[in-house]
Chain A
Amino acid sequence: VSLEEQLVAEVPNLRAFARSLAQNHAVADDLVQETILKAWRNLERYQTGTNLRAWLFTILRNTFISLKRKYKREVEDVDGVHAARNVQIAEQDGAMALADFRRALSTLPIEQREAIVLVGAEGFTYDEAAKICGCASGTVKSRVSRARKSLSALLHFEPEDLISNGTTVMPPPVSSRLRP
């Protein structure tokens, strides 16, 4: 498999990470597009045998920081406008709970959000995530911990949210506790 083909295979993950950063689908896709182009032009700089995904994520994150200045309002989505727009499926408790989780995630500071996504969703080690974020491993650990505490508080996760068959029972919708 060529490096170019490996790069193409990473696009869905790049997109998921971009969306978690940007909180705006259009901006996230712009971010991925820019990242692909930069990576493609600089493939000779990639060190074979190293983590390609980590290299791409670093490019994406750096691109995001640049784009953030340009699209500050859209990228930050400080009022949760786009996140709120995503909360459309309320017919089922599960769907509603997941929408609440998405909204709660969107309220985290960007540093915490990227840390918890890189470690918790992408499965990077703290050291790998630290390299991507350009900070110390301990800083990533601390950010993940704070993110988890914030999410637990926002979503009111308690031990009794678990039932006997091992299924997680999501708490009631917390939309009213989150910013509209």
Chain B
Amino acid sequence: VGIFGSGAKVMMTHTSENGSGAGQKRDPIAENLKRVYNETLEEPLPDKLVSLLETLKNLKKAERD
């Protein structure tokens, strides 16, 4: 079962040379989807969002004080 949850069909299978991965299923669509998605996750936030979050944090701090 790949990352598409139980019952999701995994399209390809792979057996490694030494047999350790015998029957291990690979899913290039899932792998590339994760890679594309993770690229954005790892990007630094743009200034406008950083600024917004900073403003909200300061507002919260002011409320507490």
- Which residues of B are in contact with A by a Cβ distance under 8 Å? 3-5, 7-9, 11-14, 16-17, 21, 24, 26, 28-38, 40-43, 45-46, 48-49, 52-53, 56-57, 60
Contact = CB atoms under 8 A, between A and B. Distances in A.
A148 interface: yes
Given A98-B32, A121-B34, A168 B45 contact: no
B29 A4 contact: no
Contacts, number: 110
Contacts of B35: 98, 101
Interface of A: 2, 4, 8, 11-13, 15-16, 19-20, 29, 32-33, 36-37, 40, 97-98, 101-102, 105, 116-117, 119-123, 125-126, 141, 144-145, 148, 151-152, 155, 157, 159, 161-162, 164-166, 168, 170
Contact of B3 (A11, A33, A120, A166): A120
A-B pairs with the 9 shortest C-beta distances? A121-B37, A16-B40, A101-B32, A168-B28, A120-B33, A12-B41, A162-B14, A164-B17, A121-B33
B57 A125 contact: no
B29 A152 contact: yes
**Most chain A C-beta atoms within 10 Å of own C-beta, residue among B29, B37, B45, B53:** B29
Contact of B36 (A37, A98, A168): A98
Given A148-B29, A157-B12, A119 B49 contact: no
B41 A16 contact: yes
B32 A29 contact: no
Identify whether the interface residues of A are mostly helix, strand, loop, or mixed: helix
Contact of B60 (A4, A15, A16): A4
Contact of B52 (A36, A148, A168): A36
B41 A120 contact: no
B21 to A, nearest CB: 6
A8 B53 CA distance: 7
Contact of B46 (A29, A36, A159): A29
